[in-house]
Chains A and B, each alone.
Chain A
């Protein structure tokens, strides 16, 4: 399959990291970064390829996390089954939110606000409903072992989340080269023109939201297994909605590697800012914010968009006439 080479290389390089790095703090940082990349990849399917900017992907992350945790704690379901159920619940939620929002024709900022509202409603419900543990949250019992999806070694968790990220990269690549992907991008670019070409815009967008919800929910399921604790502020909090949209936007919306690159850059930046600013409280956030503003200022299409722009500029300089030739023969 064409185009999977770069993914194989990137995943192989990342998989080798725990063989070299043994620091638990570093591995923990990388695990969280990959988890954010996974959540961002989910957002990227709907937002990057479909042009539907969601501000409420916490709805999927939280649903994945809660379903995984609650099924284990209250119903004694096996962790792996809980994990799968969490992903399925994210997909189901995607179909519900997609059907409701796209049926009523919501676009742009209205769509963004409604997704935000869905996430907030779920957060409030989770903070009072007995089944989620309400304000106390849900604690998954420590039960180390592969059958409970709990590992002593950080490296194994790292490989687990990397496997999920790899799956999401391959899925994104396959979508890019499929009819569904072509139609999804067409809807992003011009919905009316797409309809005139036989594209059922509403079902294409809803399908994108189902896939998107499933991938972001997988990140939530992983969160529950890794930290063994979920409460409403974590699961349905705005922080994850922001992380999920920020990473692809910084890395490159609508590109396979955008969310992964964005997560690595954004998270390193956050840690780097802490190192530079030392003990002054809040200063790291100011530095972090300022750098983000600069990145978006100079590369509005994300880092990958910036690289491609730079490469185009360089090749044009190398062969100055190349771009003027195709224009010449036209009548």
Chain B
């Protein structure tokens, strides 16, 4: 069996005395949606930043498509096909929606007109057609999340790292965007999501890794991790699993 598209092998990251990520290993299988969940401060975003080159790992390796990419610069990783979105959306605030997407589209389309056409196509797919001329900083939260997604897609990625794209959206907006993410996977893009909205994780991901205090404490299908005592304890505190189990017993 071939190696998964992304293999994170015992990655550690220290910030001074703080161990943000502690020997975490995970994989993302090609063409699938993998989720990374865990309580606040578990180190999920740190791990994403290491994979996408924004932070250096203190130890461990990251392999992508069979090659060691540990410590490679973000723009080189983007050129290899790794795209990421930011938890705190980072639009080019002074530019229009179209110009925002255009920056990404230029990666594989040197000519202005070709890039513009590609950008508009991606904008349409993400449901931003009516907003292309709007300044990015006038979009609603949902609009900004879609823009973040559109820009990442414009670089035509093979691996898409989505950092809480659903956070801050209302239930109907979440219902709108979940099929969009599933559609991307259907096109063959490998997706890894960090997400707190459990209902979405359950419906999207085929495999879930649970990170707590920098360590991967469990992994499996969404149904498996949801009942894993270690996961319940990580979220609800020590002893919570036993109490829950007891209450179910009666």
Contacts and interface: CB of A to CB of B under 8 A. Distances in A.
Interface of A: 177-179, 182-183, 185-186, 189-190, 192-201, 326, 329-331
Contact of A183 (B86, B91, B103, B131): B103
B172 A331 contact: yes
A179 B83 CA distance: 19
B94 A189 contact: yes
A197 B155 contact: yes
B151 A331 contact: no
Interface in B97-155: 99, 102-104, 106-107, 110-112, 115, 130-131, 134, 140, 142-143, 151-152, 154-155
Given A186-B103, A189-B92, 12 more contacts: A179-B115, A182-B99, A182-B102, A182-B106, A192-B54, A194-B103, A196-B52, A196-B152, A198-B75, A200-B73, A329-B130, A330-B140
A199 B90 contact: no
B176 interface: yes
What are the 3 A-B residue pairs with the smallest beta carbon separation, nearest first? A198-B78, A189-B92, A193-B90
Contact of A189 (B54, B83, B93): B93
B158 interface: no
Given A177-B112, A179-B110, A189-B92, A331 B75 contact: no
B186 to A, nearest CB: 22
B164 to A, nearest CB: 15
A192 B78 CA distance: 12
Given A183-B103, A326-B130, A329-B130, A195 B74 contact: yes
Contacts of B155: 197-198
A55 B181 CA distance: 47
B154 to A, nearest CB: 7
A185 to B, nearest CB: 7
- Band of interface residues on B: 35 or more
B79 interface: yes
Interface string B213-246: 0000000000000000000000000000000000
B84 A183 contact: no
**Interface of chain A, main secondary structure:** helix
A183 B115 CA distance: 12
Given A326-B134, A329-B130, A331-B176, A182 B86 contact: no
A331 B107 CA distance: 31
Contacts of B176: 331
B173 interface: yes
Contact of A330 (B91, B143, B154): B143
A189 B135 CA distance: 13
A312 B106 CA distance: 29
Given A179-B106, A183-B106, A331-B173, A198 B54 contact: no
Given A189-B95, A326-B134, A196 B86 contact: yes
Given A177-B112, A179-B112, A330-B143, A197 B95 contact: no
Nearest to A177: B112
28 contacts: A179-B106, A179-B112, A182-B99, A182-B102, A182-B103, A183-B106, A185-B95, A185-B99, A189-B92, A189-B94, A189-B95, A190-B90, A192-B74, A193-B86, A195-B73, A196-B54, A196-B86, A196-B90, A197-B83, A197-B103, A197-B104, A197-B152, A198-B107, A198-B155, A200-B73, A201-B75, A326-B134, A330-B130
Most buried by B among A185, A196, A200: A196
Contacts of A199: 75, 78, 103
A21 B16 CA distance: 70
A197 B73 CA distance: 12
A193 B91 contact: yes
B112 A178 contact: yes
Nearest to A204: B75
A103 B152 CA distance: 26
Interface in B175-213: 176
A199 B104 CA distance: 9
B78 A197 contact: yes
Given A178-B112, A193-B92, A331-B172, A198 B79 contact: yes
B92 to A, nearest CB: 4
Contacts of A183: 103, 106
Contacts of A194: 92, 103
Interface in B146-172: 151-152, 154-155, 172
Contacts of B112: 177-179
A197 B108 CA distance: 11
A195 B54 CA distance: 9
A192 B103 CA distance: 13
